[in-house]
């Protein structure tokens, strides 16, 4: 019996010793080893002892916790007091800066994506336009007698007939011509008769002779006929009317035996040795056209042959139907190969400028309101970036802003990347919501549940303490929203719980589109034409 009691006492003493040793070990400081201490920055909350053996991840940047297009190289807080979220290398797009989109490598290969670096080059291009051949307006003359008469004999009697300057066109009979010749003949005889008389009588007769001769000249009577009249004094019944210029007869109204009145155009003659081509240049190309520049023209009638011309005039008006501006090109027409009203294919070489940053034209996605290119940031990672375009060539376009020299841009399958990666949503994260692509992204709604904290009816805002929003990766917090319509505030008071839907109208501005009690179906806001103002 005594032996059993002694054994129990020994066991109790041993247990007390172990417990005391454990208590003393907890109070004694740990032995310091020779290894350097672990930096506090490398200790991650919730890390396990096995994580200490892993290499430290490289920090890329800190992103905005609200998903706005704002990053920072150092820790900071947003205007609502929320900490920016660190993004490390190797993390997926969910922790990216919100600008890039990701496609798997095998999918990239199937799409046939190709890239090319933006490069400096001189843009050379030809502005192309369609034109038509027209007669040089300065080389057209009309034959219109200045007196009344009859066509006694027609010497040029066909339209299209070539004539030389001074060539007889027709013979006319005019009583006025006969009367003027008779007056001149009488005045000449009177001057001869009064040659010895002198005084006022002879001077008056001389003035009468000069007046009759001037009338004949003013009627465009040829000089040789006037000289013949002066030399012989013979009065002719008909006079020959000659062509004032050489060219082609475009119009012939004269008929043999017809009567004509003063100023009536009997012939129209045009010199076709030089012509005009009136070309219609599109509005966007007009700034590259210069007066004095050369132009190359081709005509269907002469395949393979090129004619050279020179730009001499840019018309001051634009045709609203075609959004084109006419320009005038002058060119020689040896042998009269070119005919008025022919169509011409016009090429206007644009002078080379200095080297500029360019990308292939296939790299630009033009929605009509904005221009986007894809920048390859890594294998399978692409950043949609808005650019400003400048001059164009047949294959490349100048980038004024948005892309730097050497950055790889996607030149093939960029539209497929758009479809694969939902480009509109990515653009909406960094662009303005007023454009077409971003407005589509802004229409994506998010749902939330929370409690009304305050209502500012005058300022048109609503403060809500909401639960986490999974679609935006938001934690629970209190923030201000803008109701799409003041009617949404009816029936609400601080402390009310509600389910609501909201969208991002522009970066940082969240608009509530519908409100409903918890568990009810949210009713959309009534149309308000002033809600967007």
Token digits of residue 105:
């490598």
d(CA 450, CA 434): 29
Residue 216's closest CA among 187, 178, 166, 190? 178
Mean pLDDT of the chain: 77
Measured CA distances, 418 to 421, 455, 520 (Å): 6, 41, 37
d(CA 96, CA 200): 113
Q: Which of 439, 460, 476 is the last residue of a domain?
A: 439
Backbone dihedral angles phi then psi of residue 259, each to the nearest 5 degrees: -95, 140
For residue 462, what pLDDT is reported? 87
For residue 199, what pLDDT is reported? 67
393/365 same-domain check:
yes
Beta carbons of 262 and 147 less than 8 angstroms apart: yes
Beta carbons of 279 and 293 less than 8 angstroms apart: no
Mean pLDDT value across residues 228-257: 84
d(CA 404, CA 359): 10
Backbone dihedral angles phi then psi of residue 39, each to the nearest 5 degrees: -60, 145
Mean pLDDT value across residues 331-352: 88
Answer with the residue of higher pLDDT: 482 or 269. 269
Residue 478's closest CA among 492, 461, 459, 490? 461
Q: The CATH number of the domain where 304 resides is what? A: 2.40.30.170
117/224 same-domain check:
no
Q: Which of 317, 349, 381 is the last residue of a domain?
A: 349
Whether 521 shows a pLDDT value over 60: the answer reads no
For residue 518, what pLDDT is reported? 65
Whether 36 maps to a domain, the answer reads no
Pairing between strand 388-392 and 114-117? unpaired
Token digits of residue 3:
């032996």
With cut-offs at 50, 70 and 90, classify the pLDDT of residue 53.
low
Residues 255-306: pLDDT tens digits? 999 999 999 999 999 999 999 999 999 998 888 888 998 999 999 999 999 9
Mean pLDDT value across residues 421-450: 53
Considering the entire predicted model, what is its pTM? Answer: 0.49
Beta carbons of 352 and 124 less than 8 angstroms apart: yes
Backbone dihedral angles phi then psi of residue 52, each to the nearest 5 degrees: -65, -25
Answer with the residue of higher pLDDT: 100 or 446. 446
359/417 same-domain check:
yes
282/197 same-domain check:
no
Whether 42 maps to a domain, the answer reads no
Lowest mean pLDDT among 88-97, 191-200, 383-392: 88-97
Pairing between strand 307-314 and 356-360? unpaired
Whether 255 maps to a domain, the answer reads yes
Whether 7 maps to a domain, the answer reads no
d(CA 67, CA 330): 61
With cut-offs at 50, 70 and 90, classify the pLDDT of residue 321.
very high
For residue 433, what pLDDT is reported? 38
Answer with the residue of higher pLDDT: 95 or 75. 75
Return the H-helix or E-strand segment holding 194: none
305-310 contact pairs (CB < 8 A, 24+): 307/331, 307/338, 309/277
Return the H-helix or E-strand segment holding 225: helix 223-232
Residues 12-28: pLDDT tens digits? 554 445 445 444 444 44
Beta carbons of 344 and 133 less than 8 angstroms apart: yes
With cut-offs at 50, 70 and 90, classify the pLDDT of residue 66.
low
Beta carbons of 183 and 196 less than 8 angstroms apart: no
For residue 519, what pLDDT is reported? 52
For residue 26, what pLDDT is reported? 45
Angle at 357 between CA 352 and CA 361, to 5 degrees: 85
Beta carbons of 450 and 464 less than 8 angstroms apart: yes
Whether 533 maps to a domain, the answer reads no
Whether 485 shows a pLDDT value over 70: the answer reads yes
Whether 305 maps to a domain, the answer reads yes
Lowest mean pLDDT among 253-267, 300-314, 431-445: 431-445
Pairing between strand 126-135 and 343-349? antiparallel
d(CA 394, CA 201): 85
Backbone dihedral angles phi then psi of residue 452, each to the nearest 5 degrees: -70, 125
Residue 365's closest CA among 431, 281, 447? 431
d(CA 474, CA 431): 20
For residue 491, what pLDDT is reported? 82
With cut-offs at 50, 70 and 90, classify the pLDDT of residue 246.
very high
Most confidently modeled range among 305-314, 388-397, 497-506: 305-314
With cut-offs at 50, 70 and 90, classify the pLDDT of residue 351.
low
312/344 same-domain check:
yes
Residue 317: is it exposed, middle or buried by C-beta count within 10 angstroms (0-12/13-18/19+)? exposed
Share of the chain above pLDDT 70, in %: 74
In what side-by-side order are the strands of the sheet with 238-242? 238-242, 168-173, 149-154, 259-260
For residue 203, what pLDDT is reported? 76
Q: Which of 264, 292, 308 is the last residue of a domain?
A: 264
With cut-offs at 50, 70 and 90, classify the pLDDT of residue 55.
low
For residue 19, what pLDDT is reported? 47
Residues 154-174: pLDDT tens digits? 999 999 999 999 899 999 998
305/372 same-domain check:
no
395/296 same-domain check:
no
Answer with the residue of higher pLDDT: 95 or 277. 277
Lowest mean pLDDT among 76-85, 128-137, 142-151: 76-85
* Cβ neighbours of residue 334 closer than 8 Å, sequence gap 6 or more: 273
d(CA 384, CA 419): 13
Beta bridge partners of 134: 276
217/290 same-domain check:
no
d(CA 489, CA 483): 8
For residue 503, what pLDDT is reported? 85
Q: The CATH number of the domain where 491 resides is what? A: 2.40.50.320
* Cβ neighbours of residue 114 closer than 8 Å, sequence gap 6 or more: 410, 411, 412, 413
Whether 9 shows a pLDDT value over 80: the answer reads no
For residue 527, what pLDDT is reported? 44
Mean pLDDT value across residues 70-85: 78
178/211 same-domain check:
yes
Whether 517 shows a pLDDT value over 90: the answer reads no
With cut-offs at 50, 70 and 90, classify the pLDDT of residue 41.
very low
345/368 same-domain check:
no
251/193 same-domain check:
yes
Number of domains in the chain: 5
Whether 320 maps to a domain, the answer reads yes
Q: The CATH number of the domain where 381 resides is what? A: 2.40.420.20
> Which residue segment(s) compose the domain that 509 sits in?
445-524
Whether 199 maps to a domain, the answer reads yes
Residues 176-227: pLDDT tens digits? 888 887 887 777 777 777 776 666 777 777 787 788 778 877 887 777 777 7
168/216 same-domain check:
yes
């Amino acid at each position: 019996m005594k032996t059993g009691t002694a054994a129990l006492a020994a066991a109790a003493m041993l247990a007390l010793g172990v417990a005391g040793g454990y208590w003393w070990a907890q109070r004694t400081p740990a032995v310091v080893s020779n290894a350097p201490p672990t930096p506090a920055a490398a200790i991650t909350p919730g890390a396990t002892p096995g994580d200490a053996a892993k290499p430290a991840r490289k920090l890329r940047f800190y992103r905005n916790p609200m998903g706005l297009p704002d990053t920072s190289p150092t820790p900071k807080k947003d205007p609502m007091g929320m900490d920016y979220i660190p993004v490390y290398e190797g993390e997926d797009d969910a922790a990216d800066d919100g600008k890039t989109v990701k496609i798997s490598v095998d999918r990239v290969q199937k799409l046939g994506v190709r890239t090319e670096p933006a490069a400096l080059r001189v843009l050379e291009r030809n502005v192309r336009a369609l034109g038509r051949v027209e007669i040089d307006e300065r080389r057209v003359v009309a034959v219109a007698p200045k007196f009344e008469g009859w066509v006694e004999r027609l010497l040029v009697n066909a339209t299209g007939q070539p004539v030389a300057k001074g060539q007889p066109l027709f013979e006319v009979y005019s009583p006025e011509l006969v009367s003027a010749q008779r007056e001149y003949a009488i005045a000449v005889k009177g001057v001869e008769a009064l040659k010895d008389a002198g005084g006022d009588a002879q001077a008056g007769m001389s003035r009468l002779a000069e007046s009759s001769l001037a009338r004949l000249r003013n009627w465009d009577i040829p000089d040789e006929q006037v000289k013949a009249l002066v030399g012989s004094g013979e009065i002719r019944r008909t006079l020959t009317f000659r062509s004032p210029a050489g060219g082609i007869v475009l119009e012939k109204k004269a008929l043999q035996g017809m009567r004509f009145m003063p100023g009536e155009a009997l012939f129209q003659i045009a010199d076709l040795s030089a012509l005009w081509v009136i070309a219609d240049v599109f509005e966007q190309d007009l700034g590259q056209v210069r007066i004095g520049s050369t132009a190359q023209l081709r005509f269907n009638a002469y395949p393979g042959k090129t004619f050279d011309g020179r730009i001499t005039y840019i018309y001051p008006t634009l045709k609203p139907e075609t959004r084109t501006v006419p320009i005038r090109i002058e060119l020689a027409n040896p042998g009269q190969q070119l005919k008025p009203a022919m169509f011409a294919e016009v090429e206007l070489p644009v002078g080379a400028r200095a080297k500029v940053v360019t990308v292939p034209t296939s790299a630009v996605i033009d929605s009509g309101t904005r221009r986007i290119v894809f920048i390859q940031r890594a294998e399978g990672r692409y950043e949609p970036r808005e650019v400003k375009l400048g001059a164009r060539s047949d294959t490349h376009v100048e980038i004024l802003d948005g892309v730097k020299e050497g950055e790889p841009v996607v030149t093939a399958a960029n539209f497929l990347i758009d479809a694969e990666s939902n480009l509109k949503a990515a653009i909406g994260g960094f662009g303005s919501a007023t454009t077409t692509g971003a407005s589509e992204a802004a229409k994506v709604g998010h749902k939330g549940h929370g409690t009304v904290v305050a209502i500012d009816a005058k300022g048109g805002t609503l403060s809500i303490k909401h639960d986490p929003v999974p679609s935006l990766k938001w934690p629970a917090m209190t923030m201000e929203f803008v109701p799409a319509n003041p009617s949404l505030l009816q029936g609400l008071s601080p402390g009310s719980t509600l389910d609501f839907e909201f969208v991002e109208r522009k970066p940082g501005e969240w608009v509530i589109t519908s409100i409903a009690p918890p568990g009810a179906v949210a009713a959309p806001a009534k149309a308000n034409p002033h809600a967007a103002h």
